[in-house]
Structure 1
Amino acid sequence: MPDPAPNNIERTWRRVRQEALPQRTFTATGTLTAAVEAAVRQVNTQLLSSNQVVRNFWPDRDRRGAAERSSLYTMNNCGQAHTRHRTQPQGGSAMAQFIHLEDGAVFHMGQGYSRRLISPDSGGRNITLNYSVFQGGQEFPQHFHEVSADIFIVLDGSVSVRQGERYTPIVKGDFAYIPPGEVHGTVNHTDDEATLISFQSPPDPELYSGDRDPAKTGVVPQPAAGGESTVRIESMWDAEAAAVQGAQVRVPAGPARGMAEMTLTCLELAPGGRLEREEQGGGETVIFIWEGTAQITSGGESGRLAHGGAVLLETDEAYAVENVGTDELTLIRCRASA
């Protein structure tokens, strides 16, 4: 993405920094707080109308110069949300992108509460990551994707995978692999809250535009009568664990297990443990923090992430993960196959 007009941007940020920095309204991780977002909206109205972008000011990045900037923020037309985009530094590949749960944009489909943490509008070209919470009785309606596969994982609670009148319950630690073309939805049949994440490859933008939502289209897709489902439901813990640099590593889904589009890995790391990896082949990789607190470093970038946080890595991008908390760290890593 080319740099926006520098005069307007720098003039805007001089004003924001004068108003916001004395009150220390930037967080330690560089995330814009509500006060700073309000200041941006106030001083940047003219830039929003012309699709300009506002550079995220991180004090350490400011010293490193524009050639190494890896984060830009844009405001939507309502001035309520920001999206981080990766840029290309000089002489290298795009840097890692760190996402906190509150950074994800809310999207509406059916009931429940859903955020897209990684999607095409935030830099994910080959893979997406969504985070959803459903109260008892709430449903994510049936839909399908012509060319995309889904893997969704129950982080807490229980839901049922719905295909027409077939309901298959899945609980914490279970995942469902949904091949392209399979009608599917989820229903929380319990009285308790359920939390899920879902990965998709390749991305299906119609999921976010509402064009998969029966409430908008007026059509509820149904599986073929008498057809046999190819949806697979398994447990993350059924895969054999291997010790890698002190971590327990399981690979419950991937091409070797008949799930061609993505490779799913679960990693458990004890407090103080450190794991260094270099991806080999495939597409983009997402690391999601399920439990615990992690410090993840890649390409000179470093971020501290807790539950709901994620990092998006380029193909073959090396990284290191350290458990900086007092409890066991559990990560879910998903790599697109292309």
Structure 2
Amino acid sequence: MIATVIPSLVLASGEATGGAFSVVEHRLAPGGAGSPPPHRHKQLCDAFYILEGTLTLRIGDRLVSAGAGAFACFSPGVVHSFANHSNKEVRVLNINAPGGWDRVLRALATASLAETVTSQEVGEISSNFDMEVIAE
């Protein structure tokens, strides 16, 4: 499986918040491209606030559709992922605590400039930033 980097805008970096949290806006194209593989974090709380469209959230083995105004927060240890399976763009705020998750997005973006990044490479890069990809 080949992964693509999600177009993202860092609104508050971990550095800017003294490490307390980070906020990133993701724009997901229709069809699921750019979605991360199922993963979990050891320390990070990973929260999503849907601004526009319908985001499909994977929580363990369950899939949940979340529309504009919905909020979801994944505690450390919870296997999760997200995707846009709709036919319209999805805009979502991704809020992480503690801060610094924006660094993995920069690392993935840098890697994707040189080549197409595989899911395995996403896992290797992300593992440096408290993300454990779960093999299916």
Query: TM-score, length-normalised on structure 2?
Result: 0.69
The alpha carbon displacement at 1:222 in A equals 5.0
Please say if 1:116 is aligned against 2:116.
no
Question: How many equivalent pairs are there?
Answer: 113
Please say if 1:221 is aligned against 2:116.
no
2:28–2:91 contact (8 Å) kept in structure 1: yes
Please say if 1:131 is aligned against 2:131.
no
The alpha carbon displacement at 1:128 in A equals 0.4
CA distance in 2, matches of 1:192, 1:147: 33
1:211-267 CA-to-partner distances (Å, cap 9, x unmatched) read xx83415574159xxxxxxxxxxxxxxxxxxxxxxxxxxxxxxxxxxxxxxxxxxxx
User: Which residue of 144, 149, 154 maps to 2:50?
Assistant: 154
The aligned counterpart of 1:19 is none
The aligned counterpart of 1:178 is 74
The alpha carbon displacement at 1:140 in A equals 2.1
Distance 1:117 1:137, change over 3 A: same
Q: What are the ranges of 5 or more consecutive residues in structure 2 without an aligned counterpart?
A: 109-117, 125-132
Please give the root-mean-square deviation of Cα atoms over the aligned residues, in Å: 2.7
The alpha carbon displacement at 1:112 in A equals 3.2
Of the two structures, which has the highest relative contact order with CA contacts closer than 8 Å and spacing of 6 or more? 2
CA distance in 1, matches of 2:135, 2:68: 27
1:160-205 CA-to-partner distances (Å, cap 9, x unmatched) read 1024653111101101111012121111111011100011111244
The aligned counterpart of 1:202 is 98
Distance 1:163 1:222, change over 3 A: farther
1:264-307 CA-to-partner distances (Å, cap 9, x unmatched) read xxxxxxxxxxxxxxxxxxxxxxxxxxxxxxxxxxxxxxxxxxxx
In the alignment, residue 117 of structure 1 is paired with which amino acid?
L
In the alignment, residue 172 of structure 1 is paired with which amino acid?
A
Query: TM-score, length-normalised on structure 1?
Result: 0.30
In the alignment, residue 202 of structure 1 is paired with which amino acid?
P
The aligned counterpart of 1:140 is 35
CA distance in 1, matches of 2:63, 2:97: 24
Distance 1:168 1:111, change over 3 A: farther
Distance 1:179 1:218, change over 3 A: closer
Q: What are the ranges of 5 or more consecutive residues in structure 1 without an aligned counterpart?
A: 1-108, 224-338
Distance 1:200 1:215, change over 3 A: same
Q: Which residues of 2 match residues 41-190 of structure 1 at below 5 A? A: 110-121=4-15, 123-124=16-17, 125-138=19-32, 139-142=34-37, 143-163=39-59, 165-190=61-86
CA distance in 2, matches of 1:207, 1:196: 17
Q: SS of the counterpart of 2:35?
A: strand
1:140–1:185 contact (8 Å) kept in structure 2: yes
Please say which structure displays the higher CA radius of gyration: 1
The alpha carbon displacement at 1:120 in A equals 2.6
CA distance in 2, matches of 1:176, 1:155: 12
In the alignment, residue 121 of structure 2 is paired with which amino acid?
K
1:127–1:199 contact (8 Å) kept in structure 2: yes
In the alignment, residue 150 of structure 1 is paired with which amino acid?
D
